[in-house]
Amino acid sequence: MTNPALYVDSNLTFSVLHTQQPPSPDTGEILIETHFSGANPADIKHATILAIYPTILGYDFCGKVVQTASDNSPFQPGDVVAGFTPTGIGRKSEYGAHQRYLICPEDLAFKVPSNLPEHHAASLSVVVMTAADTLYNFFGFPLPSRDENEGKREGRVTSPLLIWGASSGVGLAAVQFARASGVDPIYVTASSERHPLLRELGATQCFDYKSPTVVEEIKMALRESQLEIKHAFDAIGSNGSAKLMADCTSPSNDTILISSVFQDDPRFKMPFAAPGQDVTIKLPGAPGTITIPARPKDNQRAREAFLWAVENYGVEFEMPVVKVFEGSAEGALKELKSLAGFGSGFGKVVLKHPLQ
């Protein structure tokens, strides 16, 4: 029996590939039988924008350990684990999450605790690590406290934060991290039907990004509060959102603008879900590849925030909506393309395996 996998070839053609045998893990890796794989816009966009191909698609996963490469592994066969796999040009197809069996480096996986449902575990790593890299490395906000006796952590960051596209997976993570770190106020944009939920998760004030006057509305709120935005995060990176967001911020040289996708505007920086590894990419219009060097200390800091989210899942942190796709591999590929085109902007989508 073959195992369907979602694949992109060197001609940027997306298709269903049928693999024959499970791969074998190398030293420091584990073989996992995939239960769920998380869908992200990056699954498609890393191929079309960053030239990461040919490869099997997907990064996020949750599944069961089948084999370890050594007796010294922190994992054992039968463990239920989740995590994400490496990216970059030259990425091994065995790392693709959208297939029945995958390989993952041990340091990118974690054991799934009882408070974290498997399908939720498969939705977390990429979006939560991306939000953590933004808030705790680029913005330098204080990490969420693990001290249960500290109580509410209000007012620890007095500089206001603007999150554009707060109902996306990355945006939802960013709002909850900001609340946990005591950021106040937290301004967000999202469609109006998401505003009540975002206020529950920690947003101070919500704006409808569909409003033709959204920029002026945000500026008016800032004038009334006598504040200016010096930390702004574009969590979706679509339809001119980065420019609209930038128009709301202070022109000061110390303003930090972050977008989840590459922007031509040199004021913007782009976070990574895996700052602990060198990543080679090719940007649109660039003559050759570039390698973004690893940031080990930043990775450790983002990972600490990520583990806080896992430990506190369902209490202080959650993905309020995780939709499960169950069906054919061809249908799953359509789901990924729709997501990359922003056809499913709220919450997270995971694919249930085995795909048919």
What is residue 155's predicted lDDT score, i.e. its pLDDT? 45
What is residue 345's predicted lDDT score, i.e. its pLDDT? 60
Whether residue 112 contacts residue 62, with contact meaning beta carbons closer than 8 Å, is answered with yes
Question: In terms of Cα–Cα distance, which of 356, 353, 340 is closest to 44?
Answer: 340
At 320-329, the pLDDT tens digits run 999 999 999 9
What is residue 262's predicted lDDT score, i.e. its pLDDT? 83
What is residue 149's predicted lDDT score, i.e. its pLDDT? 46
Residue type, 110: F
The residue written with tokens 């004030």 in the block is: 205
- Band (pLDDT 50/70/90 cuts) for residue 285 is confident
Residue type, 98: H
Query: Among 74-88, 164-178, 234-248, 314-328, whose mean pLDDT is lowest?
Result: 234-248
Whether 114 has a pLDDT exceeding 80, the answer reads yes
Q: How far apart are CA 186 and CA 196, in angstroms?
A: 14
> Residue 234: which residues within 8 A CB-CB, separation 6 or more?
164, 165, 241, 242, 245, 257, 258, 259, 260, 263, 268
Whether residue 165 contacts residue 171, with contact meaning beta carbons closer than 8 Å, is answered with yes
257: Cα within 13 Å, side-chain hemisphere: 22
Whether 153 has a pLDDT exceeding 70, the answer reads no
Whether 2 has a pLDDT exceeding 80, the answer reads no
DSSP codes joined into one string, 26-77: -TTEEEEEEEEEEE-THHHHHHHTT---SEE----EEEEEEEESSTT-S--T
Whether residue 46 contacts residue 60, with contact meaning beta carbons closer than 8 Å, is answered with no
86: Cα within 13 Å, side-chain hemisphere: 20
Q: What is the mean pLDDT of residues 52-62?
A: 97
Q: How far apart are CA 209 and CA 240, in angstroms?
A: 11
Question: How many CB atoms sit inside 10 A of residue 198's CB?
Answer: 23
Q: How far apart are CA 119 and CA 167, in angstroms?
A: 19
Q: What is the mean pLDDT of residues 133-145?
A: 95
What is residue 154's predicted lDDT score, i.e. its pLDDT? 44
What is residue 21's predicted lDDT score, i.e. its pLDDT? 87
Q: What is the mean pLDDT of residues 75-80?
A: 98
Of all residues in the chain, the percent with pLDDT exceeding 90 is 85
Whether 196 has a pLDDT exceeding 90, the answer reads yes
CA distances from 162 to 92, 165, 186, 205 (A): 37, 10, 6, 10
Taking the model in full, what pTM does it have? 0.93
Whether residue 337 contacts residue 329, with contact meaning beta carbons closer than 8 Å, is answered with no
Q: What is the mean pLDDT of residues 226-253?
A: 92
What is residue 347's predicted lDDT score, i.e. its pLDDT? 78
- DSSP state for residue 89 in the 8-state scheme: T
Pairing of strands 61-68, 29-39: antiparallel
What is residue 355's predicted lDDT score, i.e. its pLDDT? 95
> Residue 132: which residues within 8 A CB-CB, separation 6 or more?
173, 177, 301, 302, 303, 305, 306
What is residue 148's predicted lDDT score, i.e. its pLDDT? 46
Six-digit token pair at 306? 């990520």
Six-digit token pair at 255? 């303003």
Whether 343 has a pLDDT exceeding 80, the answer reads no
Q: How far apart are CA 171 and CA 207, in angstroms?
A: 14
Q: Which domains, from first to last, does the chain contain?
A: 3-124+319-352 (3.90.180.10), 128-295 (3.40.50.720)
- Band (pLDDT 50/70/90 cuts) for residue 346 is confident
Q: What is the mean pLDDT of residues 305-316?
A: 97
- Band (pLDDT 50/70/90 cuts) for residue 286 is confident
> Residue 243: which residues within 8 A CB-CB, separation 6 or more?
265
Of all residues in the chain, the percent with pLDDT exceeding 70 is 95
At 29-41, the pLDDT tens digits run 999 999 999 999 8
Q: Where are the alpha helices (DSSP H) in 169-248?
A: 169-180, 195-201, 214-225, 241-247
Q: What is the mean pLDDT of residues 29-54?
A: 95
What average pLDDT is seen over the chain?
A: 93
